Amino acid sequence: MVHVGIGYDVHALVEGRKLILGGVDIPHPKGLEGHSDADVLMHAICDAVLGALGEADIGHFFPNTDPRWKGAPSCLFLNEAARLVEFRAGNIVNVDASVIAQAPKLFPHIHQMKINIAAALRLNIQRVGIKATTSEHLGFAGREEGIAAMAVASVDLSQAG
């Protein structure tokens, strides 16, 4: 049986932080605020994978009060989600995500994001979809106050006991 999961995350854009999306350090005057590296894209994908397993969300596994995760690269969270899939004898079929950001232009970085996410989940890159869109200057993303990401994951649990 193939299970699907959904993930959604938002982080605020602030000065004095790096902008890390899909594990790529993207040149921009502002970055995302958060306890870890605040990689909103990896967080949404992590929640989608956890959701497909019926597990609790990323904040349950990696609380933002835990000093171990301060400044942590979010690929660690995807590594752990992939480990949970393997523990359940599952296989991630695919993940797909959209980043909602008014700026900067993300298209030049999409391929590297796919490489990083595929590596973190131990997947073939063809199983990773990443898109970027603006919100046409509407809402918090449109005002460049933050960046949002949404994701889905499908996990084959037919081998699960």
- 47, 151 contact by CB (below 8 A): yes
The β-bridge partners of 156 are 2, 91
Q: Which is nearer to Mg ion, 90 or 106 (CB)?
A: 106
In angstroms, the CA 94 to CA 68 distance is 29
Q: Which is nearer to Mg ion, 36 or 102 (CB)?
A: 36
In angstroms, the CA 79 to CA 84 distance is 9
Nearest residue to the partner Mg ion, using Cβ: 43
CA-nearest of 107, 110, 44 to 74 is 44
Q: Which is nearer to Mg ion, 21 or 128 (CB)?
A: 21
**Sign of the alpha-carbon dihedral angle for 83, 86, 87, 90:** positive
> CB of 35: closest distance to Mg ion in angstroms?
8
> CB of 32: closest distance to Mg ion in angstroms?
8
User: Quick one: residue 85, left, alpha or beta (phi over 0 = left, psi -120 to 50 = alpha)?
Assistant: alpha
> CB of 159: closest distance to Mg ion in angstroms?
30
> CB of 115: closest distance to Mg ion in angstroms?
21
Q: Which is nearer to Mg ion, 43 or 109 (CB)?
A: 43
> CB of 66: closest distance to Mg ion in angstroms?
14
Q: List residues near Mg ion by CB under 5 A.
A: 9, 43
In angstroms, the CA 105 to CA 133 distance is 9
Q: Which is nearer to Mg ion, 38 or 132 (CB)?
A: 38
